[in-house]
């Protein structure tokens, strides 16, 4: 029989074969409090397909963990959590794997090129069965209600563990150590007078990322461009518009890194460039100039869909479709930080102190099973 007050908690992720940052931090916090935690992580994408035989056994393990848990925490769609009834005392919490919803997903994309068919979404009971959905702002809550087809009353405003991590590596107790590790690996970044520009584009299903245009537009004599490709692009699968595997790695001032996380790079980056990635919201916590390089904005908005209209946001002056204009703006060095902070406050309006602990508090507060064996 379980010790009174001690809960069984399952954390299920299909974002990676290893534990993601949010999962690892949440697990550590729950274990520290004496709860029993079961983590199941296995990457599953549309590219890998649900037909992968190895995933069938994993789904069976997921269901067993759900049936044995008081609380189940998800960071994406989970087949058994939505399709198979669970005990009345079990609570399912969707914390999602991004801080915000820049691009449309879930039920927002059903029937579109990048989404599921309505028949398949209904068959798979997509995003059904959530008791609570974690969200970082009132604005994002509306998008989550649409994407998960859930009511506003199930939304719980709370930050993700990654907020703690980002704040720690950018201006907290992890900053000096992380910056030292990166500068030791890439000593060229220590050169006086040069800027470190982090470029982290989102994944484009079936399409390529044009890194070369940006690399050509920036002055290699004044800056280093650090390119962090989405994990699904790595291994030589990301190609530029010209068809090359990536921008010329011998070109001065370009670093393609796979050793450190994108969040870790926020410790040394002087500015950030992204597009439709949740990083445009998450990176605002670093309080550094953000530029949005949306060279395929119309195509992406039509085929995938965007929740955020960048050109009507406070950061609109820093949204570019042309790499040369973006580079010219960087040269001016007159960034409006108040605009960046106004943008951040729209999409992160929760308390950003001790988010991991706050999320753990909420999970632990949920009532457990009505009866115990």
Report if residue 3 sits inside a domain: no
Name the phi and psi angles at 141, rounded to 5. -55, -40
Residues 273 and 307 placed together within one structural domain of the fold: yes
Residues 59 and 191 placed together within one structural domain of the fold: no
CATH number, position 15 = 3.40.50.11820
Residues 318 and 211 placed together within one structural domain of the fold: yes
Report if residue 370 sits inside a domain: no
Residues 319 and 361 placed together within one structural domain of the fold: no
Residues 140 and 63 placed together within one structural domain of the fold: yes
Which candidate, 337, 314, 226, 331, places its Cα nearest to that of 273? 226
Report if residue 150 sits inside a domain: yes
pTM: 0.91
What residues make up the domain containing 283? 174-347
Residues 180 and 262 placed together within one structural domain of the fold: yes
Residues 146 and 229 placed together within one structural domain of the fold: no
Please tell me the predicted confidence (pLDDT) of residue 360.
Answer: 98
User: What is the Cα–Cα distance from 27 to 32, expressed in whole angstroms?
Assistant: 8
Residues 91 and 204 placed together within one structural domain of the fold: no
User: What is the Cα–Cα distance from 194 to 190, expressed in whole angstroms?
Assistant: 8
Residues 236 and 330 placed together within one structural domain of the fold: yes
Report if residue 373 sits inside a domain: no
pLDDT tens across the length of the chain (373 residues): 344 468 899 999 999 999 999 999 999 999 999 999 999 999 887 655 555 566 788 899 999 999 999 999 999 999 999 999 887 789 999 999 999 999 999 999 999 877 889 999 999 999 999 999 999 999 999 999 999 999 999 999 999 999 999 999 999 999 999 999 999 999 999 988 899 999 999 988 778 889 999 999 999 999 999 999 977 665 443 434 333 334 444 567 899 999 999 999 999 999 999 999 999 999 999 999 999 999 999 999 998 899 999 999 999 999 999 999 999 999 999 999 999 999 999 999 999 999 999 999 999 999 654 333 3
Mapping DSSP to helix (H, G, I), strand (E, B) and coil, where does residue 20 land? Answer: coil
Residues 148 and 207 placed together within one structural domain of the fold: no
Q: What is the DSSP letter of 231?
A: G
Residues 43 and 110 placed together within one structural domain of the fold: yes
Name the β-bridge partners of 11: 39, 73
Residues 341 and 279 placed together within one structural domain of the fold: yes
Report if residue 185 sits inside a domain: yes
Please tell me the predicted confidence (pLDDT) of residue 205.
Answer: 77
User: What is the Cα–Cα distance from 308 to 279, expressed in whole angstroms?
Assistant: 13
């Amino acid at each position: 029989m379980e010790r009174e007050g001690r809960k069984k908690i399952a954390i299920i992720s299909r974002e990676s074969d290893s534990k993601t940052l949010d999962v690892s931090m949440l697990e550590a916090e729950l274990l520290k409090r004496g709860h029993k935690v079961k983590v199941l992580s296995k990457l599953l994408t549309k590219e890998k397909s649900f037909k992968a035989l190895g995933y069938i056994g994993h789904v069976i393990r997921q269901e067993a963990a759900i049936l044995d848990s008081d609380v189940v925490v998800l960071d994406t769609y989970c087949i058994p959590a939505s399709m198979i009834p669970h005990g009345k005392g079990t609570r399912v919490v969707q914390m999602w794997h991004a801080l915000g919803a820049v691009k449309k997903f879930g039920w927002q994309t059903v029937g579109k090129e990048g989404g599921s068919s309505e028949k398949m979404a209904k068959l798979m009971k997509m995003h059904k069965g959530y008791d609570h959905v974690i969200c970082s702002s009132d604005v994002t809550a509306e998008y989550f209600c649409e994407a998960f087809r859930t009511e506003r009353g199930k939304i719980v405003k709370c930050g993700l563990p990654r907020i703690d991590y980002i704040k720690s590596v950018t201006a907290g107790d992890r900053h000096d150590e992380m910056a030292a590790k990166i500068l030791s690996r890439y000593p060229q970044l220590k050169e006086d007078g040069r800027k470190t520009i982090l470029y982290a584009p989102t994944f484009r299903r079936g399409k390529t990322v044009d890194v070369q245009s940006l690399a050509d537009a920036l002055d290699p004599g004044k800056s280093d461009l650090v390119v962090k490709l989405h994990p699904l692009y790595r291994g030589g699968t990301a190609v530029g518009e010209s068809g090359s595997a990536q921008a010329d790695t011998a070109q001065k001032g370009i670093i393609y890194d796979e050793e450190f996380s994108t969040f870790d790079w926020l410790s040394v980056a002087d500015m950030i460039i992204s597009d439709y990635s949740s990083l445009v919201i998450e990176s605002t916590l670093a309080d550094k100039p953000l530029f949005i390089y949306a060279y395929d904005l119309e195509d992406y908005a039509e085929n995938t869909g965007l929740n955020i209209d960048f050109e009507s946001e406070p950061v609109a002056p820093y949204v570019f479709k042309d790499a040369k204009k973006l580079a010219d703006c960087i040269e001016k060095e007159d960034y409006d930080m108040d605009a960046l902070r106004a943008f951040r406050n729209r999409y992160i309006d929760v308390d950003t102190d001790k988010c991991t602990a706050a999320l753990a508090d909420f999970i632990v507060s949920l009532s457990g099973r009505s009866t115990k064996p």
